Chain A
Amino acid sequence: MEPIEDQIYVIIFATIFLGGIMSTFVISMVFIHRQRQVQNRQKLDFIKSEHEKTLLNIENEIQQETLTHVGRELHDNIGQLLSLAKLNFNSQKPEKHIEGKEILGQIIQEVRNLSKTLNLDWVESTTVEEFLVQQLKKISDTGFCETVFEQEILLEEMEKEQKLVLIRVIQESLNNAIKHALPDLIEVRMMKSGDEKVILIRDNGKGFDTAQRSAGSGMFNLKKRMETIGGKFELKSELGKGTEISLVLPK
């Protein structure tokens, strides 16, 4: 074969080879894209189902708590008031009848208040700030410990589902502090850290070793819950030095 002919073949071969490489590259990219697209969709579906599962769990927990609360209220409060009203109406004295009517009015009001707690619509009507103030007041009213609330920032309105999860995490964190830490003081601060909005829950209780498994599992659930709404859950604790929980809010 002539050298010139050889060179021509090389040029033709190089052109076809380069074209082939380019085609293979582009086709492979499309295939890889398809594969990753499927993986990405599966990942998104998983996150979505996890999110739904978390929400469902939270709603169940709240409903269980509400039923317990309603039962207690019916027995301890409304039941007592009804007995008192019955006693008053059984009396011959007219002033007792008036008192009985007043008690009936009180019972009606209590039943109304109780019925409001039976669904989750209150989550929509209350703000996170109002909820925090309410919860801290409840704690300090029991005389269990002192509470402090500092609000440095205003929170934007959140979606009902996000708010529900956040409220539940706050409630759980406060419950943990009361149950396990036995503090003298619980401090809640709503503040800004960098460009993130944070709710800081701090107690001066006995603290715990964060490496311990029993303490870790409950905290893991709280962390997972915050992550499902796009937030973060950070915990710092040391034996004898209290606990600090940072709830970084979703942007």
Chain B
Amino acid sequence: MDSRLLQAFSHWFTISSNLLLIIGVFFFLKLPKDKRANIRYWLPFLILTFTVLYENFGSYTNYNFDFKKAINAYLGNTEYPQFNLWLFNIARRQVGVILYLLLIKYWLRPAHKKYINWMILGFIILVFVLQISGIEPLYLNQPIIFAIGANLILIGSGLYFIGMITHDQYLERNPLRLVSFWQMTIILFTFSLNYISSVSLLYLYEVNPVLGKALQDISYVMLLCTLGVLIVTIASPLLPSIFEKEPSYGTD
């Protein structure tokens, strides 16, 4: 086998995320048919699959330099042909944010769901404007877009926590035994810590690569934790003794 290909896919994060996808697929297939058709389970599975696929695609772009260079050139980036930021900008910072907002929306009370719809719409418009106007090109780091995305996720999680401390159905339950609580907590941490690491990464790699790598490792670990909690969500119907029934606000 090509040693460069092996090198590109042998990073501990890539291997771990692929293993998590296999576990996720296993649990998803074990779910009854009606549960698989329920957004509560298929959306986390979609996010899990999407994340692992784009991470693998990222590894592939590191292996196939010509392909990466061609895409960069197509987007107008001839200065840094080694960058694959365009992939992570689209997948993690744009589509990823929208998918996580949809996931958060599922757990919110109907009155709060409409806020998420407006957030998603506003975010899409803003992303287009910032990219088309050239303020944040697709092939470079996009701190503004990621900052807005991360803040929307923080607001969405905040709405969930407000519901948790005010709604009677949540007050009857133990939050530590709710999948939704762990999902929101991990998403909150992942996006806030990823934001710090993403805005300082390029700078740190230049001035202090050891710290830069450490910070990126934190992002990787948080991302793996998020994938882990998505798997737990998918597997939760199979673990009724661990998790309590989620309040549904009558939408289930």
Contacts and interface: CB of A to CB of B under 8 A. Distances in A.
B171 A30 contact: no
Contact of A15 (B166, B188, B215): B215
Contacts of B188: 22, 25-26
Interface stretch (A5-13, A133-141, A231-239): A5-13
B185 A33 contact: no
Contacts, number: 54
Interface string A16-59: 00110010011001101100110010000000000000000000
A7 B165 contact: no
A18 B170 contact: no
Contact of B196 (A4, A18, A32): A18
A22 B189 CA distance: 7
Nearest to A8: B208
A14 interface: yes
A36 B165 contact: yes
A128 to B, nearest CB: 29
B171 A7 contact: no
B192 A22 contact: yes
Contacts of A18: 192-193, 196
A178 to B, nearest CB: 42
Contacts of A19: 189, 192-193
A179 B189 CA distance: 69
B211 interface: yes
A41 B192 CA distance: 35
Nearest to A15: B196
Interface string B18-48: 0000000000000000000000000000000
Interface stretch (B59-67, B85-93, B139-147, B199-207): B199-207
B175 interface: yes
A14 B165 contact: no
A201 to B, nearest CB: 33
A29 B196 CA distance: 23
A29 B215 contact: no
Interface residues of A, number: 19
B176 interface: yes
Contacts of B197: 15
B171 A36 contact: yes
Contacts of B203: 7
A30 B189 contact: no
A144 B203 CA distance: 95
A50 B158 CA distance: 36
| From B171, B172, B185, B189, residue with most partner A Cβ within 10 Å | B171
A192 to B, nearest CB: 23
Interface residues of B, number: 25
A11 B204 contact: yes
Contacts of A11: 196, 200, 204, 211, 215
A145 B110 CA distance: 52
A18 B222 CA distance: 14
Interface in B155-201: 161, 164-166, 168, 170-172, 175-176, 185, 188-189, 192-193, 196-197, 200
Contact of B185 (A4, A7, A26, A32): A26
Contacts of B171: 33, 36-37, 40
B196 A30 contact: no
A33 B192 contact: no
B121 to A, nearest CB: 27
Interface in A105-135: none
B164 A4 contact: no
Given A29-B165, A32-B165, A40-B171, A4 B200 contact: no
A19 B197 CA distance: 12
Given A15-B196, A30-B176, A40-B171, A8 B204 contact: yes
B196 to A, nearest CB: 5
A119 to B, nearest CB: 36
A30 B164 CA distance: 9
Interface string B195-231: 0110010011001100100010010000000000000
Interface of A: 4, 7-8, 11-12, 14-15, 18-19, 22, 25-26, 29-30, 32-33, 36-37, 40
Given A8-B211, A29-B161, A30-B176, 4 more contacts: A15-B215, A15-B218, A19-B192, A26-B188
26 contacts: A8-B204, A8-B207, A11-B200, A11-B204, A11-B211, A12-B211, A15-B193, A15-B196, A15-B197, A15-B215, A18-B192, A18-B196, A19-B189, A22-B192, A26-B161, A29-B161, A29-B165, A30-B176, A32-B165, A33-B164, A33-B165, A33-B170, A33-B175, A36-B165, A40-B168, A40-B171
A-B pairs with lowest CB-CB distance, top 5: A40-B171, A29-B161, A11-B200, A32-B165, A15-B196
